[in-house]
Structure 1
């Protein structure tokens, strides 16, 4: 039997706002991650000297088992993180467009704003530049800061909370994968799942789109900018 869903946690006590990056701060239908996804397949194919079809099966297996394909490739095949990250993030960021409305909403949120991502700082900076969101965040915790242990590993969240001195009971987490919200919710964070706009085509695995009814998901939105604008309003 599934766990009963408790009333969703509120935001009136929140003083730290934590955001995932990919498919969270920009819309799913941009499908920017698909470029990274293809680069990962190419990397696995070349490293293991197999076809891209074979590489894709391995890639998806490692992604689910290890949290990222990179972690699986490091653990089982001796891949260097720096080489991997440099290769897979060589993508075209031009599909991203400035989002001044989101920037304004983030600026109005009371307290600190942080990014927690399985990507690299270099990738974060390029995305924020295209979105015109540089200067809106007080810190970035990337895969290197996580000592190459990706979300949803519990120790990654613990490292993040310690490094940035975050009280999880006074924090909110925004994320596009429900599984990455389980530990934050257990730690006391208010959780928000960002899902695709139902009117747009997105390229995602079925399991990546699951979890909106999970007990550890407090809120669900397909419009992060609108959601943040509501939170930024007095007495919201």
Structure 2
């Protein structure tokens, strides 16, 4: 179906590499710290740590989920370590606040990261007062996107009507469960190594390569609609 912004009353956004560009290399910092954590945990070299890290990510949705499954780590220890990074690169990210705030209805953040990290990102992006709620990895009970329970939990917690919601995400594989629930979907194709993995074209309503441009176009489309009544 063609994307219809006029029926949307709940706008759901991923965080990393969605509200800011991969060109900030913020997640590269996290990636390196994940490797360091695994090296220390397993007593292995960087090559083996990288192999384990990506295996867990692809098989379990997040590296954290794999580490919890196989090694029973404390998620708070892991998240605190890997998110101890420099947020200064986000100063150069586009300012999305006015565009997001202009969207009619609720704005929710749906992230496989944790609340503390997400709020630091939002602060760096000047988006502190934009979102009406957040569904993070703790709320998901550590069963991350694309696990269907992450999506049904979000829908139930915020009383979302899926047919009136849209989910915007840079990882194509994370859109299929949202589409299955009845949401409209937007894939941000940012030409990353991981973005198109397990892509299902039938689960994607819109493909965009710039979230700021997509927001601008969407708001213009809404403004052009005739007033009813």
Classify the TM-score, shorter chain.
over 0.9
**Alignment of structure 1 residues 157-196 onto 2, 5 Å:** 157-196=151-190
Which residue of 55, 59, 78 corresponds with 1:61?
55
- Deviations 1:96-147 (CA, angstroms, capped at 9, x unpaired): 0266752111111000000000001111111111111110000111000111
**Alignment of structure 1 residues 85-104 onto 2, 5 Å:** 85-97=79-91, 101-104=95-98
Q: Is the CA contact 1:100–1:132 (under 8 Å) kept in the aligned structure 2?
A: no
Shift >6 Å, 4+ stretches? none
Q: Summarize the Cα distance change of 1:220–1:112 in structure 2 as closer, same or farther, 3 Å threshold.
A: same
Which residue of 122, 131, 138 corresponds with 2:132?
138
Alignment correspondent of 1:226: 213
TM score, norm. by length of structure 1: 0.90
**Aligned equivalents of 1:194, 1:125: Cα separation in 2:** 22
* Structure 1: 5+ residue stretches without partners: 1-6, 199-203
RMSD of aligned C-alpha atoms?
Answer: 1.6
Q: Summarize the Cα distance change of 1:34–1:129 in structure 2 as closer, same or farther, 3 Å threshold.
A: same
* Structure 2: 5+ residue stretches without partners: none
**Aligned equivalents of 2:92, 2:130: Cα separation in 1:** 13
Larger relative contact order (Cα-Cα within 8 Å, sequence gap ≥ 6): 1
**Aligned equivalents of 2:170, 2:149: Cα separation in 1:** 20
TM score, norm. by length of structure 2: 0.92
**Aligned equivalents of 1:222, 1:166: Cα separation in 2:** 27
